[in-house]
Chain A
Amino acid sequence: MNELEIKNVCFSYTGEEYVINNINLSLGEGELVSILGVSGCGKSTLFNVVSGLRKPQKGKIILDGEDITGKSGKISYMLQKDLLLPYRTIEDNVALPLILSGTKKKKARLAVQDGMKKFGLDGTQKKYPCELSGGMRQRAALLRTYMFSGKAALLDEPFSALDTLTKSEMHSWYLGVMDEIKLSTLFITHDIDEAILLSDRICLMTGKPATLSEEIVINEPRPRSRDFTLTPEFLAYKKQILSKL
């Protein structure tokens, strides 16, 4: 069954030229689909529409059978920056989605402890975001996104702000937790290696106005390890994508 469906979505900021045109995409349960495209092509714009922050001029967003076009607060969304609130401790940042939906502060804090351990954030509960490293902040933002527990998640370049080493560390960690979290995820990146390593499918976003021009299925069983990046299959996928971008 498809968790999330994006149907014929067109969107323009100005009301004139579309930034994204006729986008169609469906996301299956527990699937991770990457959207790969050059900077400025309209990836974040698509996410803003899917999350309901912006209303598309044409098209529909369907989540678990329900039409959620233009309705925010239904899908977990991690924006391009970590956007941790500087005036809340890490645990209070992570617990924010629970608090917003009416959970009492104490209960919400308890509820995030398990996730904090799983995400390698144990010991940072009472710290403030400015005291954490970039990788930890990113993990905290990711955990907050999961605590929202929508039926699907949108991750907008969650690892792009990190240096290569930290990024690779985060990939290994993410490969480990993703099957445990089992969340249908749309994932934006402009890092081809990252897309191949993490995704079940990759959609290429190209053109102006942007469309999803190509879909590549990555047939590699999960859980994957980082060694996958060293295999000839990986290289073949990479070649295929490069030729189409």
Chain B
Amino acid sequence: MKRKLQSTTSKLLPAAAILALLAIWELVSDTGLVPKYMLPSPVDVCSAFVKDFPLLWENSWVTLAETFIGLALGIVIGFLMAMIMDFFTPVKKALYPIVVITQTIPAVAIAPLLVLWFGYEMVPKVILVVFIVFFPITVSLLDGFESTDKDTINLMRSMGAGKIQIFRYVKFPAALGNFFSSLKIAVSYAVVGAVISEWLGGFMGLGVYMTRVKKSYAFDRMFAVIFLISGLSLLLMLAVKLIQKRCMPWENR
């Protein structure tokens, strides 16, 4: 009972904080403390969102498609990579430093390059998302595989399990927790990555739309896109959380 109460308050508090922030923002904008054309009030943003909704909707799909294709490819490649590195120690020794170094390259820096190489269609966007997603997934999976208890592996060997069975029954489930926590971060980076590469050139997508509204100095519409992007990221993170719950039933006990 007490725990239930606590969890309600822990949900109420952040909600109250957000409402307070919005209220302050509304006041600052309405009283003209900051000129309205520079900082539209939340109400203005909402109405811009509603008015632009068909356009936003259309462009969201493009951005989401890039995000999903990139995510899927990034996960598959990251998974295969981590598996190969786990199975063949020399490969890991050779590639792990490269993986870590590549992770320090900011995605924003290679985005223009990708546009130059692959043009204005979907390809450079998907590649950027893959690039962003693949490294954290690989590293987290590898760490997860390595975190498995030596004795558990000994036990599996004593039961006659081979390398593949040990992977399937011990290492893979042991790495799931790591995998999902990095995926939660990866999805929001993936959305942002798709938007950034759309800024640099393209025909459709939220990033392209943003550059258009920017040119017309439509701040309210700008804010509407920003909120939509963060909303989409949040939804994706929530989806990951739900999938995690389904995939790791032992965590909910």
Contact = CB atoms under 8 A, between A and B. Distances in A.
A92 to B, nearest CB: 10
Nearest to B154: A53
Interface string A91-111: 000001101110000000000
Interface stretch (B28-36, B159-167, B198-206, B209-217): B159-167
Contacts of A229: none
A53 B170 CA distance: 17
Interface in A85-135: 85-88, 96-97, 99-101, 127-128, 130-131
A130 B249 CA distance: 12
B250 A73 contact: no
A53 B157 contact: yes
Interface stretch (A10-18, A75-83, A184-192, A236-244): A75-83
B159 A73 contact: yes
A63 to B, nearest CB: 13
Contacts of A79: 151, 154-155, 158
A52 interface: yes
Interface residues of B, number: 21
A100 B170 CA distance: 12
Contacts of A52: 158
A63 B169 CA distance: 28
B174 interface: yes
B23 to A, nearest CB: 44
B250 to A, nearest CB: 4
A128 B253 contact: yes
A236 B214 CA distance: 94
A73 B253 contact: no
A128 B253 CA distance: 8
B27 interface: no
B141 to A, nearest CB: 15
A18 B173 CA distance: 37
Contacts of B159: 73, 77, 96-97, 100, 148
A74 B174 CA distance: 26
Given A83-B152, A128-B250, A100 B165 contact: yes
Interface string B165-192: 1000110011010000000000000000
Contacts of B174: 87
Contacts of A100: 156, 159-161, 165, 169
Nearest to A82: B155
Contact of B158 (A51, A85, A88, A127): A51
Interface string A61-79: 0000000000011111101
B151 A81 contact: yes
A87 B248 contact: yes
A48 interface: yes
A85 B169 contact: yes
A233 B249 CA distance: 52
B170 A73 contact: no
Given A128-B253, A130-B250, A96 B158 contact: no
Contacts of A127: 253
A77 B173 CA distance: 23
Contacts of A51: 158
B58 interface: no
B160 to A, nearest CB: 3
A96 B253 contact: no
Contacts of B52: none
Given A72-B157, A83-B155, A100-B165, 11 more contacts: A48-B154, A73-B157, A79-B154, A79-B155, A81-B151, A83-B151, A87-B250, A88-B250, A100-B159, A100-B160, A100-B169
21 contacts: A53-B154, A72-B158, A72-B160, A73-B157, A73-B160, A73-B161, A74-B160, A76-B158, A77-B158, A80-B151, A85-B152, A85-B169, A86-B250, A87-B174, A87-B248, A97-B159, A100-B159, A100-B161, A128-B250, A130-B253, A148-B159
